[in-house]
Amino acid sequence: MEKDKNQQQKSIKRLQSSIDANAYQKAWFKDLREKINNGESYAIVSADAPHEIFHAMDIPIVTTQWWSAVIAAKQLSSYYFDLLNERGYGKDLCRYCSLPLASAMDHNPEMAPWGGLPKPTVIVARLTCDAMQKVYDLWAKEMGAPFFPFENPGSTVMYPRWWEKCRYDWEALYETRRLDVMVEDLKALIRFLEIQTGKTFSYSKFVRIMDRINEQEEIYDKIHDLVAKTVPCPISITDSIPSVMNPQWHRGSQWALDMTKQFYEEVKACVDQGQAACENEKIRLMWIGAGLWFNTGFYNAFEEKYGAVFVWSMYLALAADGYIRYPTSDPLRALASRFVSMNEQLHMPPWMNEWLVKEAKLHKINGALILTPTNCKHSGGGTYFTKKALEKAGIPTIDIWADMVDAREWDNDQMIDLVSEFIEGII
């Protein structure tokens, strides 16, 4: 029998908040399926679409990238991608978004994670790369649901140090003309959802959600500072990612706010009591890019031998720097500013370069691993410039040529050896 090159490792979770957040998300999805079976509407939505509108209308959402990560974590990505290729779709398709499309084409709930996705009422996505419109069009036709595409107006003014302006001076940072387009799209989305679901947009609830989100993200900012300045680091990203991302899918809800407070209290207790993710910490690493969802245990693989800890991921860092908006006197416009440049900040130069250098210095990073998925122009297009910027700042880097959800080309032993050699070079 051929050796399994993936050799998935289970990640180590040390915080109760990360365990509770994962358990909540699983229970929430089970409850959602029951509600859908009883006639409840729900939407499939891309990660960078305005989730807050759906929350204000009590429309549950399943996020494309979350569902793709679930499929990968259940070790089903190879099965679905092979199915997609057998049906004539090219192997160079963007896999993060096309994996849920492949699972929808299978029509096999017994194979799918947790019974798979039922038919949605609507599908919504921002057109942030050339492939997305076609992928979501196909997905909508496969599931028999209408698709609402969001515009993605480009920026003409570049502020490399965007994090210094986005909380209070976001009108200037994100350009009035871009925000005008986004606000009109938000209004159109509200009308579309009211027609498709029969539900009404509650402006007062929307305002409360926006206020709670600011409160929630301010707490992430405090956690971010604790992680950055504490040596040895109190947590690794195997705790921070689930403790951040699961509440972020429900941001603005009371549960999300309470879970974020629990996360902070646990991290603060670790700092106060001198507890560390790795007592023998010698090397602080940052993981640049989306999570390695089919093998998150990879992040713990270098702790015991090298004292090498992954202390940084984009999820906590963006929550701290990218979501908070003041003032909220025009909450719809503030919401437009929250997601209009999210992809530039995470993936495109010069937005991402200076931010990652700032973050690396703040977190006392010794080395950076840069995930470069060859078939996702959206995620991999700017990594060359990130690498150059970090190395110019004196931070060693290594490219991880792999996909965040496709395990077929991942050789775990080879990757362990590659990163071990990189760490030994730093030491």
pLDDT digits (tens, 9 = 90+) for 236-269: 999 999 999 999 999 999 999 999 999 999 999 9
> How much is the average pLDDT of 116-131?
92
Structure confidence by residue, pLDDT tens digits, 288-337: 999 999 999 999 999 999 999 999 999 999 999 999 999 889 999 999 99
Band (pLDDT 50/70/90 cuts) for residue 131 is confident
> Residue 3: what pLDDT?
40
Provide the percentage of residues in the chain whose pLDDT is more than 70.
97
397 pairs with which residues across the strands? 368
Which pTM was predicted? Answer: 0.95
pLDDT in tens, 221-231: 999 999 999 99
User: Using 50, 70 and 90 to split pLDDT, how confident is the model at 162?
Assistant: very high
Query: Can you give the pLDDT at residue 74?
Result: 95
Tell me which amino acid residue 319 is: A
Confidence category of residue 130, pLDDT binned at 50, 70, 90: confident
Q: What is the pLDDT of residue 279?
A: 94
Closest by Cα among 375, 416, 379 to 398: 416
Residue 2 pLDDT: 37
* pLDDT over threshold 70, residue 401: yes
| Arithmetic mean of pLDDT, 150-155 | 90
Look at residue 108 and tell me whether its pLDDT is greater than 50: yes
pLDDT tens across 379-395, in order? Answer: 667 889 999 999 999 99
Lowest mean pLDDT of 167-171, 181-185, 243-247, 374-378, name the range.
374-378
pLDDT digits (tens, 9 = 90+) for 47-67: 999 999 999 999 999 999 999
Question: SS3 letters for the chain?
Answer: CCCCCCCCCCCCCCCHHHHHHHHHHHHHHHHHHHHHHCCCCCEEECCCCCHHHHHHCCCCEEEHHHHHHHHHHCCCHHHHHHHHHHCCCCCCCCHHHHHHHHHHHHCCCCCCHHHCCCCCCEEEEECCCCCHHHHHHHHHHHHCCCEEEECCCCCCCCCCCHHHCCCCCHHHHHCHHHHHHHHHHHHHHHHHHHHHHCCCCCHHHHHHHHHHHHHHHHHHHHHHHHHHHCCCCCCCHHHHHHHHHHHHHCCCCHHHHHHHHHHHHHHHHHHHCCCCCCCCCCEEEEEECCCCCCCHHHHHCCHHHHCEEEEECHHHHHHHHHCCCCCCCCHHHHHHHHHCCHHHHHHCCCHHHHHHHHHHHHCCCCEEEEECCCCCHHHHCCHHHHHHHHHHCCCCEEEECCCCCCCCCCCHHHHHHHHHHHHHHHC
Tokens of 52: 């807050």
In this prediction, residue 90 carries a pLDDT of 82
pLDDT above 50 for 270? yes
Would you place residue 409 in the very low, low, confident or very high pLDDT band (cuts 50, 70, 90)? confident
Q: What b/e readout covers 358-371, taking b as 16+ CB neighbours within 10 angstroms?
A: bbbeebebbbbbbb
